[in-house]
Amino acid sequence: NQKKLQERLVVDEDAAVNLYQNNGYLFSDIDPIEINIENDSVDLELRVVEGPKATIKRVIIQGNDRLYEDVIRRELRTKPGAVFSKDDLLRSVREIAQTGHFDPEALSADIGGGISPNPEDGTVDITYPLTSKGNDQIEFSAGWGVTGLVGKLSLRLNNFSLKNLLNPSMHRGIIPQGDAQTLVLSAQTNGQYYQSYQFQFVEPWFGGKRPNHFSLNAYYSRYTGLNTNYYSQNSYYDPYMYGYGGLGGYGYGGYGGYGGYGGYGYQDMAEYAYDPNQVFNIFGASLGYGKRLEWPDDYFQVMASLGYQRYGLKNWTYNQFPFHTGTSNSITLGLTLSRVSTDNPIYTRTGSEFTLSVNATPPFSLWDGNNYEAMAYSDPAKYKWNEYHKWKLKMRTYTPLAPLTVTRTPVIATRVEFGLLGHYNKDKLTPFETFDMGGDGMTGYTSTFATENVALRGYENNSIATQARAYTRLGLEVRYPFILEPNSTIYGVAFLEAGNAWWEIKDLNPFDLKRSAGVGARIFLPMIGLMGIDWAYGFDTVYGRGNRERGGSQFHFIIGQEF
């Protein structure tokens, strides 16, 4: 099979010629010669001409109008004077794609034409043909929720330049750009009932010489309740149950913002009574610092973060918190080990993602001298300082179902997740940072605050468990791309999912899972980000009920890329 022979020698990703090109022998050639034919057998002799090692002479960047050139060059593995390596070339293409500022599809297709060897002097010029694409995101929206008009304004700049903030002559337009830093500003309000604000800054090359990440994040949210007149006039108990929105934490080491209020609800409830004596507010801030590792390989990163959160409650009865009035504080140290080797941040064809993280507070109960066993469950003093250790493991793999030379490559994506919320003292369990499972997993203004939402399509939001201390989730997706363009990416998905959550860690059973299946679509627009809609069917009951009132057919709207 002459075609198959050429593929294995030259075309395939693991073709024989790559062994030579990865060691500098760009001018090498493999010539298969038939030396003996007998009956139905053929003996082949592979004659290899290595030639001289090729040295990189020039590295040229074309089409860049987004970043300062040094910001691109710091991501490249191909340097002038170095010996040519095809692996280094492909890794450079990946690193450029991961910045999000250039079209990865066009770069992967055109990079072959950017290699210009010169056999006469044993050198090679490499040209990176870039196609810029915008990836800053702005959102301005308004809607009508159960307590009136809801407004939101958020700005995410992925090409910010802090050093040019006070240097207008270096601005590109009205915003200082060019250093690939991230700045997030978000505000959302429903007037006196609800307010939420978030700020975040991320520097991916802190110091400018090595890929050391620095992040700063702060957010504040305030929720106000309704007085008893509301409940005497309306049989529906919880006015905050429905709504979408909110801006999650971006970058490294940051906490997600608590936000989102409105969307849809019971519109006929037009009379509300504002009660300033029922208030729940959350303030949080964190600092993060991380670096790329060299071992086991340079896809690994380690991240450390220091965070503070303050929860303030005043006559707040909407949640299952043990106390209704008081304050609770958390000081956390977080450590995250991750490995990301995916080829494309939007439509991923190959690679994997692995994340192991722990966030832990100091064990205050070991030295504060309080007898927590004797304290009442609802005593606010018991929760003045939270203590816990929270562990999460997340893994994803991407396997192409066709050669990567095929533009519209279908992909199988798999996912495995575990989460645990542990304690130091069985008589001092934190009421915060627990897991809510079910539905789309979007952070929203719902009846549960200060918890982590875990999606499981095919079930209503938070219907599988609330305030759980352990969860697991498994998933398998088949993806097929319909459009892969700089201004829009659209692909379809078909998926199987299974997961569950438990109120106590000792009850965790990875074989007791709620199952679902469905189909959906994703669209990526540079100014908006990734959005999607899924239809899923949940096959199992929840809360031990004998019917499927919280499973069955469900539609889910997705905003943002979920791990």
What whole-number distance in Å separates Cα of residue 221 and Cα of residue 316? 15
| Residue, of 527 and 310, whose pLDDT is higher | 310
- The pLDDT-based confidence of 139 (bands split at 50, 70, 90) is confident
Question: Is residue 71 very low, low, confident or very high in pLDDT (cuts 50, 70, 90)?
Answer: very high
Place 248 in a pLDDT band, splitting at 50, 70 and 90.
very low
Separation of alpha carbons 68 and 179, rounded Å: 6
| pTM for this model (two decimals) | 0.85
In contact, 291 and 211? CB cutoff 8 Å:
yes
| Dihedral, CA of residue 457, residue 461, residue 464 and residue 470, to nearest 10 | 90
- List 9's β-bridge partners, or say none: none
- Token pair 């298969």 is found at 32
Q: Is the pLDDT of residue 555 over 70?
A: yes
User: Which backbone phi and psi does 122 adopt, to 5 degrees?
Assistant: 70, 35
Instruction: Report helix, strand and coil shares of the chain as percent, to nearest 5.
Output: 10, 45, 40
pLDDT at 146: 55
Q: Which range (178-192, 284-298, 503-517) has the least confidence?
A: 178-192
546 pLDDT more than 60 = no
Q: How far, CA to CA in Å, does 214 sit from each of 203, 345, 528, 561?
A: 5, 21, 25, 22
Mean pLDDT estimate for the chain: 85
pLDDT at 548 > cutoff 70:
no
CATH architecture of 55-129: Roll (3.10)
Counting Cβ atoms within 10 Å, is residue 189 exposed (0-12), middle (13-18) or buried (19+)?
Answer: middle
State what percent of residues in the chain have pLDDT above 70: 85
Residue 160, judged by CB atoms within 10 A of its CB (0-12, 13-18, 19+), counts as: buried
Lowest mean pLDDT among 10-19, 209-218, 328-337, 413-422: 10-19
Check whether 91 has a pLDDT greater than 80: yes
* pLDDT at residue 250 greater than cutoff 70: no
- What's the mean pLDDT in 141-147? 61
- Map tokens 């505000």 to a residue: 187
Alpha carbon distance 192, 207 (integer Å): 42
d(CA 417, CA 396): 9
Q: What topology does CATH give the domain 392-563?
A: Porin (2.40.160)
Read off the pLDDT band of 66 (50, 70, 90).
confident
Identify the pLDDT of residue 245.
38
User: Given strand 115-118, what is the order of strands in its sheet?
Assistant: 55-62, 123-129, 115-118
pLDDT band at residue 148, thresholds of 50, 70 and 90? low
Task: Tell me which residue of 22, 6, 147 sits closest to 88, measured CA to CA.
Answer: 22
Rounded to an integer, the average pLDDT of 401-427 is 93
Asked whether the CA dihedral 222, 227, 233, 238 is positive or negative, the reply is: positive
Measure CA of the first residue to CA of the last residue in the chain; give whole Å: 42
pLDDT higher than threshold 60 for residue 431: yes
Question: For 182-197, what is each residue's pLDDT tens digit?
Answer: 999 999 887 777 888 9
Mean pLDDT value of segment 101-130: 90
Residues 127, 112: Cα–Cα separation, whole Å: 9
With residue 228 as reference, give the H or E element that holds it.
Answer: helix 228-233
DSSP string, 518-545: EEEEEEEETTTEEEEEEEEEE-S-STT-
Q: Which bin fits 191, alpha (ψ -120 to 50), beta or left (φ > 0)? A: left
pLDDT for position 435: 93
pLDDT for 531 beyond 70: yes
Which pLDDT score, from 0 to 100, does residue 116 have?
A: 92
What would the pLDDT profile of 355-366 be if each residue is shown by its tens digit? 999 999 999 999
pLDDT at res. 223: 86
d(CA 528, CA 490): 14
